[in-house]
Structure formats: C-alpha cells, structure tokens
Amino acid sequence: MCYVDIHTHTEKHAKGVVSLYSLRVGKEVWRDMEKPYWAGIHPWDAGIADEKGLEWLAEKNMSGIGEIGLDKIKGGAWESQVLWFERQLRIAADRQLPVALHVVRAHEECFQVLKKERGKVPGIVVHGFIGDTRLAERYLKIGGFLSFSLRALSSPRTVEAVKRLPLDRIFLETDDREEPIREVYRSFADLLEIPEQELKERLFLNYKNFFRI
C-alpha cells in the first residue's frame, strides 16, 4: 500500500510512494518516462504551444493529460488558453485518458468548456484545489476528483470544504513544494481526525479506481 502523490514537479521517486510527475509540453524537452506520469500543455505555456505538442499527446504513452486548463492570473492569451484546453480535452476523450486540471480564477469558464467533453473524458482531477464547498461540490457533480497540497491549509474556506468532501473523491499532492508527500498525508489526517493509515489506504484505492488499474 503506497502513498500517492497525484501531482508533482519533482522527479524524485521515494520508496513506497507513487509519484505522478507533470511534464509541461512545450516548456520542457519531451522525454519518454516510466509511467505513471502526466503530460500536457500548461495554460502558462499557451503562447508557445504548437502542433508538435499535440502530436506528442496523441501518440506518447503517458498516464493522463495534464496539467491543462485556464488561468486568468499567469496564463497566456485567453483565446490561446481556451483553444489548447479544448483541443487537449478532445485528445483525452479520443485516447480515453484522464485529465489533470489547472484552474485559477476561471472556474465558470472551465465548466463551460468541460460541458462539451466531460462525458467522453474518463476522469477529471482538479489539482491544487483552492475554493469553497459549493465550488468543490460542482466539480463532484460532474464526476471530478479534487487534489490538495499543503497550500490548501492556509485557506479557511478550502479547509472547510476538505472536511465536507467524501474521501473517495480526493487526492493529495506536493505540486512544486519540497515537503515529502508523507508530511502532506500527516497534516490532512490530522485535519480530518482519522488515522493516517486509513487515509493512505483510501487514497491508494482512489488512485486505482481513477486510473482503472
């Protein structure tokens, strides 16, 4: 029974941890990696994306497509963000791969885009979720999972949402932080007032169900 770090930008593989590295297509040089891992055109990179990136996503043997989405703070030109988001969702639907979403101050727009493809994409996880219970429940209603890093603990509304969510719809992650995933689990187990082992077992089962392993 392993810990699962559903989204990370660190390539270190600790013993007893399933880590899903997130490869930024167009920003990083493509390299074939050992699964599991994500690959996608990040909204920050929408201005430098090209057709070659889409060809890679249509052909390479990644576990899922991500992180993809919309970002009104640091993203590229809005029209480009929407275009690459839509096109990557279509590839995910065609290949029957799950997606990891990056959404910053663009949730309404994200839901509008997802309406077109959400029934065809086999899985959705919103990485680094920050938001209230109402927003969290909207993602649950479309079949989504939510992933949390330690940043979530500094947001009272997100803390409240975490407490209300069913365990079978969440993941934990390190993202770009240095803390080991075990520390993230320990912090959220304390928040939820459950044994860390129980959280570990539940999230590993979530991982198996999400990726249909």
| CA dist., res. 162 & res. 147, Å (int) | 10
Reading across the β-sheet that carries 17-24, which strands appear in turn?
3-8, 17-24, 37-40, 64-71, 99-104, 124-126, 145-148, 170-172
| CA dist., res. 74 & res. 49, Å (int) | 15
Q: What is the pLDDT of residues 2-19, one digit of tens each?
A: 999 999 999 877 899 999
Binned at pLDDT 50, 70 and 90, residue 1 comes out as confident
Contact 26, 8 (CB under 8 A): no
What is residue 205's three-state secondary structure?
Answer: helix
- Tokens linked to 51: 């057709």
Cβ neighbours of residue 170 closer than 8 Å, sequence gap 6 or more? 145, 146, 147, 148, 162, 203, 206
The yes-or-no verdict on residue 146 having pLDDT over 80 is yes
Exposure string of 114-131, with b = 16+ CB inside 10 Å and e = fewer, is beebbeebbbbbbbbbbb
Q: What is the pLDDT of residues 160-208, one digit of tens each?
A: 999 999 999 999 999 999 899 999 999 999 999 999 999 999 999 999 9
Binned at pLDDT 50, 70 and 90, residue 29 comes out as confident
